[in-house]
Amino acid sequence: MVSNDKQAIERPLSSAEVAELELHARSIRRYILEAAARGRQHIGSALSIVDILTILYFRHLRLDPSNLESGAGDRFLLSKGHGASALYATLLERGILAKEIFSTFGLPDSRLCGHPTAGTPGVEISTGSLGHGLAIAAGMALGARLDRSPMRVVVCLGDGELNEGSNWEAALFSAHQKLAPLVAIVDRNGLQQEGPTEEVASLEPLAHKWESFGWSVCCVCGHDFPALHAALSASFSSKRPAAVIAKTTKGRGVSFMENRMEWHMAQLSGSELDRALLELNQN
């Protein structure tokens, strides 16, 4: 279980801790790439959130991988369910999802669906119909307050997903109810299925939008572990719901995929997998 010592969790990361997180992130990216060689995956969207999931699962989320059924600990929801391979790979790396289960992902009759499905170890809710995750997270946070539970709720949203009006209804409700600690992390990679977010339906000034709804806001690089750590520590200490706008790169970690729309969803050929893994191992 991640330490419940608030002071230990919030102190700045040491260089050794950053190096350890980088190793976990590299392993998670490798699992994602291998899965994408077995079948078509939303690979770009998965690679952009790896560092976010790594800092959450290996530093901040209070959970016991051996006793998830107890209901104790924090809750994480991947609202942008098309990034499922990143969540599955992180759960594997964290010791929550068995290797024999993950190794079937992308194959016919696998237990792991293309979007997270309730009943999978470590998956709280079924997601993929975009725009629902924040509202569900708000309900969980309100329930925790009513139960006087110390449970914290974190939800990861895609930036294109913010086109859905239900997110802003949930944001309004959460601020009115002062639902803290509720943390929404926006994967701000700037691309959605139809093209750049600012061309499809402009989101900027995004930070001001969240602030105007009554949320505390941090804007950080979503691939910088110390910055992510500081932003999450501040967000969990906020008296209001908190939004972390994490600027990321779609396809992060593989140069020929980065910021390329064609890698929104694809299957890797054998040569592409070899090239990607070689590059990943050299970084």
* Tens digit of each residue's pLDDT (9 = 90 or more) over 28-53: 999 999 999 999 999 999 999 999 99
More confident residue, 72 or 253: 253
Q: What is the mean pLDDT of residues 132-142?
A: 97
Q: Quick check: 183 pLDDT over 70?
A: yes
> What was the pLDDT predicted at 4?
44
> What was the pLDDT predicted at 231?
97
Which residues lie below 8 Å from residue 205, measured CB to CB, with a gap of 6+? Answer: none
More confident residue, 119 or 85: 85
Q: Quick check: 203 pLDDT over 60?
A: yes
> What was the pLDDT predicted at 10?
67
Q: In 3-state terms, the chain is what percent helix, strand and coil (to 5)?
A: 50, 10, 40
> Distance between CA 247 and CA 227 in Å, rounded?
11
pTM > 0.75: yes or no: yes
204, two tokens: 């900027």
98, two tokens: 């068995």
- The pairing of strands 75-78 and 216-221 is unpaired
> What was the pLDDT predicted at 279?
92
pLDDT digits (tens, 9 = 90+) for 73-117: 899 999 999 999 999 999 999 999 999 999 999 898 899 999 999
251, two tokens: 């396809």
> What was the pLDDT predicted at 11?
83
**How many percent of the chain have pLDDT more than 90?**
86
Q: What is the mean pLDDT of residues 120-148?
A: 94
Range with top average pLDDT, 99-108, 239-248, 260-269: 239-248
> What was the pLDDT predicted at 229?
98
- The pairing of strands 216-221 and 195-196 is unpaired
CA 259 remoteness from chain centre: 18
> What was the pLDDT predicted at 72?
72
pLDDT interval class at 144 (50, 70, 90):
very high
Average per-residue pLDDT in the chain?
A: 93
Q: What is the mean pLDDT of residues 201-206?
A: 96
Q: Quick check: 2 pLDDT over 50?
A: no
Least confident of 18-22, 75-79, 125-129, 178-182: 125-129
CATH of domain 15-282: 3.40.50.970
